[in-house]
A = this chain, B = another copy of it.
């Protein structure tokens, strides 16, 4: 695995690989680092499908709000190098902020519709920052395939909508959420949790599990309000949990539904705070009406 910090050098390296192998497929895994098994699984998926696997690690200031955790977002370059190499990355792209934004960007990519609810409502401007940096990274790497984790299902919807609307020459591969033994979705932010918060954080997965069973048993009869209530009640059983949102929407449009049977698929989506730490998780469930 080689580590590259400059855009020009990365372009040159990928171009040379493509010239020497015209059938090469380039796979790309964009991340914010502090890698865990979820990121590793994206690399493994890329490895299976692509001759050259590029991972980027860049904590993108543009997608953090003024009161969010950009400065304190966990970083560990040495460990990230090991995890990335172990999981099969060929190239680790590790740019500084001034390499990606030599001047403040005047250009922004905005995706309407899918960004209005869930994290888009809680974190204004967040998905503009995501769409803009992913566009930049796609233009730098020019991958054939890009791999994103479904833990942030809304991010996947945003990227897929953007790729479709802007005719970006890349295929998006959504990959399943990885979980700890007790069901907590793997996340770089889990390290923020105190032991007590960590224990109670399993409530997200448990609430989703219970609500999923409810939908599978009685989905034809239920409204989204019924399922939201079931989610909220279950979360409330954890005394340290503060709900940011507990939502039930059509997937992938992320439009509201009344009866669940109005959609072919629904997403149950949670954002829950434990102290300053905000965790997200979700389930995507097909509806057979």
Stretch in contact with the other chain, from A109-117, A226-234, A256-264, A272-280: A109-117
Known: A106-B111, A106-B112, A106-B114. A135 touches B166 (CB 8 A): yes
Q: How many copies does the complex hold?
A: 2
Known: A19-B22, A22-B19, A22-B22. A107 touches B166 (CB 8 A): yes
Stretch in contact with the other chain, from A26-34, A136-144, A181-189, A192-200: A136-144
Bound complex: CA of A7 vs CA of B114, how far in Å? 25
Interface presence of A161 (CB below 8 A): yes
Interface presence of A221 (CB below 8 A): no
Closest to A100 in B: B167
Interface presence of A236 (CB below 8 A): no
Closest to A135 in B: B166
Interface presence of A131 (CB below 8 A): yes
Bound complex: CA of A131 vs CA of B136, how far in Å? 15
B residues less than 8 Å from A162 (CB atoms): 107
**Distance in Å: Cβ of A118 to nearest Cβ of chain B:** 16
Interface presence of A72 (CB below 8 A): no
Interface presence of A205 (CB below 8 A): no
Bound complex: CA of A136 vs CA of B168, how far in Å? 7
Bound complex: CA of A289 vs CA of B140, how far in Å? 39
Interface presence of A108 (CB below 8 A): yes
Interface presence of A11 (CB below 8 A): yes
Q: Which of A158-190 contact B (CB under 8 A)?
A: 161-162, 165-169
Residues of A within 8 A of B (CB): 7, 11, 19, 22, 105-114, 131-132, 135-136, 139-140, 142, 161-162, 165-169
The 6 A-B residue pairs whose C-beta atoms are closest, nearest first, are A107-B165, A139-B167, A105-B165, A106-B113, A106-B112, A136-B167
